[in-house]
Amino acid sequence: MSSEAHIHVSLAHLRSLEGVSRGLSFLPRQPSASVLNGRHASRLRGRGLNFEEMRDYLPGDDIRSIDWKATARTGEPHVRVFTEERDRPALLVVDQRMSMFFGSRLNLKSVTAAEAAAIAAFRVLGAGDRVGGIVFGDDEQIEYVPKRSRRTAHAFLESIADVNSTLNADRAVTLQPGRLNKVLSSVARIAHHDHLVLVFSDFDGIDEMTHLRLRSIAAHNDLVLILVDDPFAERIESSERAVIGDSQMQAEIDLGSSATRAAINAYTHDRLARIRNWQTEINLSVLPLSAGEETLPQIRQLMGALSPRRRIR
């Protein structure tokens, strides 16, 4: 992979990830090594059930399926018959804001989020489920209603690549407080219930409203937050000075000061801890993904997938 590929993603690269998505699963029944196994498994509903018919009780029917109101009304035992839904629509939300245009070791966070979303899109489509998504930047948002369509999946990936290509250090950006919360409102509009919602983001700019929006979404859907982070954010090392900011404002910070580093580290740690604590506060799961490592091996480890076996001739 060229150095440019760690800064921007191309549509060709995203489409090339289709093959490596095999063996991954976002369904409730997870491999034993998956982080979604155990206490996380109960949070994933998987496919729901559709009511098919009401019929007379037959010997051997599960007593739990008896409809007691119909039984009392007719005087004869009746059962409700359900069939499993044919699919579970997935909505993939991909953050491509300027806050994601950062990386200190391997990828920029925007690249890692794009790659992870592409892998997930192909896996969902390969499982026969509908896939759609929302790609958003600081001042744009593109939506795709979930469909069982390769054309829709490829259009979604094309939008990720297009928005990603607009990110650059000299780009003029108007800061929009609450940008993430507005996107989450769109998620709630599209994913009414029984969707799998995957959000790939660094969750920059979270506040109490973010907490409320996520709680509302998780009440009716399976919600997984893919927390894309960079090693630099976990531990800021000593250096002389650093300039941070956007194209509108900049500030020079003396990282040689232990007090300054301690304050920044504490702020970052508290923010990340707040996101991870949502797992106990809200019915959702948080999966960490580092921009400092290759994307696919991390996802395989997180989902407990086995590497493809090499064919011996």
- CA distance readout (Å), 272 to 64, 175, 287: 44, 21, 12
pLDDT at 80: 83
- CA distance readout (Å), 243 to 129, 247, 252, 253, 254: 45, 12, 4, 6, 9
Write the single-letter amino acid at 253: I
Contact predicate 198/123, CB 8 Å: no
Q: Is the per-residue pLDDT at 44 higher than 90? A: no
Q: What is the mean pLDDT of residues 145-174?
A: 92
Q: Is the per-residue pLDDT at 307 higher than 90? A: no
Of all residues in the chain, the percent with pLDDT exceeding 90 is 48
52 vs 58: which has the higher pLDDT = 58
159, two tokens: 């939008």
Of all residues in the chain, the percent with pLDDT exceeding 70 is 72
Closest to 285 measured CA to CA, from 23, 31, 39, 24? 39
Q: What is the pLDDT of residues 213-252, one digit of tens each?
A: 999 999 999 999 999 999 876 655 555 454 444 434 444 5
Torsion, Cα of 293, 295, 296, 301 (10° steps): 60
The DSSP secondary-structure symbol of 268 reads H
Closest to 136 measured CA to CA, from 221, 209, 201, 207? 201
Domains of the chain from N-terminus onward: 3-40+87-303 (3.40.50.410), 49-84 (no CATH)
Q: Coil, helix or strand for 236?
A: coil
Task: Please report how many Cα atoms fall inside a 13 Å half-sphere around the Cα of residue 15, on the Cβ side.
Answer: 13
pLDDT at 269: 75
Strand-pair partners of 131: 90, 147
pLDDT at 301: 85
Q: What is the mean pLDDT of residues 28-35?
A: 47
180, two tokens: 């993430």
pLDDT at 49: 57
Length of the chain as a residue count? 313
Of 18-32, 137-151, 166-180, 287-301, minimum mean pLDDT range: 18-32
108 vs 128: which has the higher pLDDT = 108
121, two tokens: 């899109």
Residue given tokens 């018959």 in the structure block: 81
φ, ψ dihedrals at 82, nearest 5°: -120, 150
Q: What is the mean pLDDT of residues 186-202?
A: 94
pLDDT at 5: 84
Of 88-102, 127-141, 194-208, 230-244, minimum mean pLDDT range: 230-244
CA dist 67 and 61 (Å) reads 12
Most confident of 32-41, 68-77, 196-205: 196-205
| Beta carbons within 8 Å of 31's beta carbon, 6+ residues apart | 25, 37, 303, 304, 305, 306
DSSP 54-96: EEE--TT--GGGB-HHHHHHHSS-EEEEEEE-S---EEEEEE-
Most confident of 37-51, 202-216, 237-251, 271-285: 202-216
pLDDT at 12: 96
Q: Is the per-residue pLDDT at 40 higher than 60? A: no
CA dist 125 and 119 (Å) reads 10
CA 20 to chain centre: 18
Q: Coil, helix or strand for 281?
A: helix
Contact predicate 115/15, CB 8 Å: no
Residue given tokens 């989450």 in the structure block: 184
180 vs 268: which has the higher pLDDT = 180
Q: What is the pLDDT of residues 55-96, one digit of tens each?
A: 888 887 778 888 898 899 899 998 887 655 556 799 999 999
